[in-house]
A and B are shown apart, each in its own frame.
Chain A
Amino acid sequence: MESHVSHRERLWLYIFVGLVIFYLIAPTFIVVPVSFSSTTSLSFPPPGWSTRWYESFFGQEKWIGSTWVSLRVAFGTMVLATVTGIAASYALHVSKLRMGNLIRSTLISPLAVPSILIAIGIFFVYARIGGMLNTIHGMILGHSVVAMPFVILTMSAGLQSYDMTQEMVARSLGANRFKAFMTVTLPQLKFSVATSMLLSFLVSFDELIISLMISSGPVSTLSRVTFATLRDDVDPTLAAVSTLMLIVTCIPPLALHIVTNRAKKKGA
């Protein structure tokens, strides 16, 4: 759609937007060249090149151990938040529960509550009941709180554009409800499910403040160790870590974007 203003008259707009986008995207990639620096300084451009900071990353227990912790927690969060979130979104979608709106708002509310509050809340609960602080399962539960809204929002949107009568047909043909859901409804919602899983994984992998409160020592997450290192002794190993994180967190969404686009085109 074109309006009555010509491209030439809009030149300033293009330039301004270009600069803003540059500001948004470019700075992050500076970690890539710095991670291949040959010196301990973070100067750019680096005076020489080496892979010593990657060696330092893969050679240190604190980095490898915490990466492993992060992956386990993120995987657990992905499973827990997606499964419970899908169950809740399905129930909220098909039934007219009197408390439906209240339940939905409760499940989405972690998005609006500042994470520091969620973090000290969880810390308080865990400090009382014991066996939860500094554990993988404790962190999975904690991260599921902040991942939940993303699953609920994604799945609700998916369910909204899904024709529920299909499930009814399957059931009238003799499938029980669970089977009908698993074989008819869920496969058609696969993009929403994939997005939910991806989001909850990334939310957990990136989460810092809850991890700061409830984990330490050998069960520190990668983000926690990164934060502590950033605050105390900065070295280019951090740039190597950042580059790896950039790869981990950038590729899946891009892939999902491409796959979804292709599927949409096929459908159209």
Chain B
Amino acid sequence: MAQAVLNLPPSSLNPDQLKENHQALQKEQRSEARTMFRLTLPALLIVGLLMVAPIGWLLSMSFVGQDGSIGLENYILFFSEAVYREMFVNTFVIAFVVTAICLILGYPVAYLMAILPSPWSGFLMLLVLMPFWTSNLVRTFSWLIILQRNGLVNQLLVWIGAIERPIALVHNMTGTIIGMVHIMVPFLILPLYASMKAIDLNLMRAAANLGSTPAHAFRRVYLPLTMPGLVAGTIMVFVMCLGFYITPALLGGGRIKMIAQRIEESLALYPTWGPAAALAVLLLAMTAICLGVSLLLVRRLTAEMRG
């Protein structure tokens, strides 16, 4: 492209040739666009054929009943079968509790990371990122060892006299939540940290100068400024919890069923793809709605902040 421009002789300034040059340039631009599009094709084909297309197909299958009729049969299952109600309640309770705990644990960490001077904040970041690199299976297995009946936590609780006999910490809701929080906390810390890092700490000094106590300044100045990161992180963690598979399957001991496991079971349980597809569509819709709301809220909060 650059060469085409550079090689123009001075005589090319007459209108006919200008037009010709213009056309040549346009042609080259088009061929450039084609080449660039072709470069994206392999990646696009992988994601398109293996993810986008099948999801479209799931959408259509979810409306096909057991006997091949078109209708809402698979969606009506959600209301008519008790298994589904329990599963939905489980999914939402777990996602909600896990998100809340992550928020309580993650906020102070992100805060400290944002106010610490350089080498320390980097070190803290490395520690927060380390679990990211570790296989979720390994982390889940570790909790299985720690939380089992004669595991560390039970031994400790008995030793300090909090309980008399070991209690069941895994293969139930407690284990599922402990394991999921462990995986989710970093996902909340990172967006929080990003929004905190952008805050000018002079604002807090100004608040103090104007007579505000640290707690008051935090509530009225700092907290509102972290809202975009807070909202984005919280919703992301919530959404990820909704579709979680590994931890509930292992630490829930097969007793705690969430949507993802139910989808997998439906494939084996029903002769058609319909019921699994309907659940999949529901999960996808919830994910899309949550992320959409998050996007809107963040945009609004950021706009408000700019005044």
CB neighbours (8 Å) of A226 from chain B are 137, 141
CB neighbours (8 Å) of B133 from chain A are 202, 249-250, 253
Q: Are A114 and B145 in contact (CB under 8 A)?
A: no
The range of chain A's interface size is: 35 or more
Q: Are A24 and B151 in contact (CB under 8 A)?
A: no
Chain B 210-258 interface residues, beta-carbon cutoff 8 Å to A: 214, 239-240, 242-243, 245-246, 249-250, 254
A78 within 8 Å of B (CB atoms): no
A217, B240: Cα distance in complex, Å: 30
A234, B48: Cα distance in complex, Å: 39
- Per a CB cutoff under 8 Å, which of A5, A95, A107, A257 touches B44? A107
Q: Are B130 and A250 in contact (CB under 8 A)?
A: yes
A125, B56: Cα distance in complex, Å: 12
A51 within 8 Å of B (CB atoms): no
A223, B152: Cα distance in complex, Å: 26
Q: Are B208 and A206 in contact (CB under 8 A)?
A: no
Interface size on B, residues (CB 8 A): 87
Encode A221-254 as 1/0 by CB contact (under 8 A) with B.
Answer: 0010011001100100011001001100110010
CB neighbours (8 Å) of B145 from chain A are 30-31, 34, 42, 44, 239
Q: Are B51 and A209 in contact (CB under 8 A)?
A: no
CB neighbours (8 Å) of B291 from chain A are 112
* Closest A residue to B185 using CB positions: A24
Which residue, of B47, B112, B131, B133, has the highest number of chain A Cβ atoms within 10 A?
B47
B298 within 8 Å of A (CB atoms): no
A122, B112: Cα distance in complex, Å: 42
How far apart are A140's CB and chain B's nearest CB, in angstroms? 10
Chain B 195-217 interface residues, beta-carbon cutoff 8 Å to A: 201, 204-205, 208, 214
Stretch at the interface among B16-24, B29-37, B70-78: B29-37
B46 within 8 Å of A (CB atoms): yes
How far apart are B213's CB and chain A's nearest CB, in angstroms? 10
Chain B 262-281 interface residues, beta-carbon cutoff 8 Å to A: 263-264, 267, 273, 276, 280
A249, B117: Cα distance in complex, Å: 29
Count of A-B contacts judged by CB separation below 8 Å: 250
Encode B167-210 as 1/0 by CB contact (under 8 A) with A.
Answer: 00000000000000010011000000000000001001100100
B99 within 8 Å of A (CB atoms): no
A4, B208: Cα distance in complex, Å: 8
Stretch at the interface among B103-111, B158-166, B299-307: B103-111
Q: Are B260 and A116 in contact (CB under 8 A)?
A: yes
A80, B254: Cα distance in complex, Å: 36
- Per a CB cutoff under 8 Å, which of B43, B135, B152, B273 touches A44? B152
CB neighbours (8 Å) of B148 from chain A are 42
Q: Are B138 and A245 in contact (CB under 8 A)?
A: yes
> Given A3-B204, A112-B291, A121-B54, are A97 and B245 also a contact pair (CB < 8 Å)?
no
Q: Are B284 and A114 in contact (CB under 8 A)?
A: yes
- Per a CB cutoff under 8 Å, which of A30, A106, A120 touches B146? A30
Encode B37-63 as 1/0 by CB contact (under 8 A) with A.
Answer: 101101110111111111101100000
A16, B108: Cα distance in complex, Å: 8
- Per a CB cutoff under 8 Å, which of A84, A231, A245, A249 touches B42? A84
CB neighbours (8 Å) of A91 from chain B are 35-37, 39-40
Q: Are A145 and B2 in contact (CB under 8 A)?
A: no
Looking at chain A's contact residues, is the secondary structure mostly helix, strand, loop, or mixed? Answer: helix
A38 within 8 Å of B (CB atoms): no
A92 within 8 Å of B (CB atoms): yes
Q: Are A223 and B135 in contact (CB under 8 A)?
A: yes
A205, B145: Cα distance in complex, Å: 23
CB neighbours (8 Å) of A182 from chain B are none
CB neighbours (8 Å) of B51 from chain A are 109-110, 113, 118, 121-122, 145
Interface residues of A (CB under 8 A from B): 1-5, 9, 13-14, 16-17, 20-21, 23-25, 27-31, 34, 42-44, 80, 83-85, 87-88, 90-92, 94-95, 97, 99, 103, 106-107, 109-110, 112-118, 120-122, 124-125, 141-142, 144-145, 148, 152, 168, 171-172, 202, 205-206, 208-209, 212, 223, 226-227, 230-231, 234, 238-239, 242, 245-246, 249-250, 253, 257
Interface residues of B (CB under 8 A from A): 2-3, 6, 32-33, 35-37, 39-40, 42-44, 46-55, 57-58, 105-106, 108-109, 111-112, 115, 117, 124, 126-131, 133-146, 148, 150-152, 182, 185-186, 201, 204-205, 208, 214, 239-240, 242-243, 245-246, 249-250, 254, 259-260, 263-264, 267, 273, 276, 280, 283-284, 287, 291
25 contacts between A and B (CB under 8 A): A1-B201, A17-B124, A20-B105, A20-B109, A20-B185, A28-B138, A29-B142, A42-B144, A44-B146, A84-B46, A88-B42, A94-B36, A103-B44, A113-B287, A114-B243, A116-B245, A120-B264, A120-B267, A202-B133, A205-B135, A230-B144, A230-B250, A242-B138, A250-B130, A257-B126
Given contacts A1-B201, A114-B284, 10 further A-B contacts (CB under 8 A): A3-B115, A4-B214, A24-B128, A91-B39, A95-B32, A97-B37, A209-B246, A238-B141, A242-B135, A249-B135
Q: List 8 tightest A-B contacts by C-beta distance, closest first.
A: A114-B243, A121-B54, A91-B39, A95-B36, A88-B43, A91-B36, A84-B42, A84-B43
